């Protein structure tokens, strides 16, 4: 943040040009640590994708059950009159 503030120009709208960004100091971890980070991110992404798949499946199933419940109520297969408050 300090680098950004030092290189930004403008009084009402701070901005910085690309030429100045080229001179930023950036800390980069060693290659083996970068690899570990990439593997961790890939595993977390895969885990998240599996969770999303399970959630979508559960949502689809709940929608099917909702449709079936509405159909059963409309056709009189279940009596819902006593359930209405």
Residue-wise pLDDT tens digits, 10-67: 555 566 677 777 777 888 999 999 999 999 999 999 999 999 999 999 999 999 999 9
| 16-50 as b/e: b if 16+ CB within 10 A | beeeeeeeeeeeeeeeeeeeeeeeeeeeeeeeeee
Whether this model's pTM surpasses 0.75: no
Amino acid 11: pLDDT: 54
Pick the residue with more confidence: 2 or 22? 22
Instruction: Read off the DSSP letter of residue 13.
Output: S
Ordered by start, the domain boundaries in the chain are 2-83
d(CA 85, CA 82): 8
How many residues are there in the chain?
A: 85
């Amino acid at each position: 943040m300090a680098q950004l503030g030092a290189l930004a120009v403008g009084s009402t709208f701070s901005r910085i040009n690309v030429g100045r960004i080229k001179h930023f100091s950036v800390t980069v971890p060693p290659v083996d640590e970068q690899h570990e980070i990439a593997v961790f991110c890939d595993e977390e992404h895969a885990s998240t994708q599996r969770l999303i798949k399970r959630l979508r499946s559960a949502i689809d199933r709940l929608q099917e059950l909702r449709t079936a419940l509405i159909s059963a109520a409309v056709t009189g297969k279940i009596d819902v009159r006593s359930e209405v408050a």
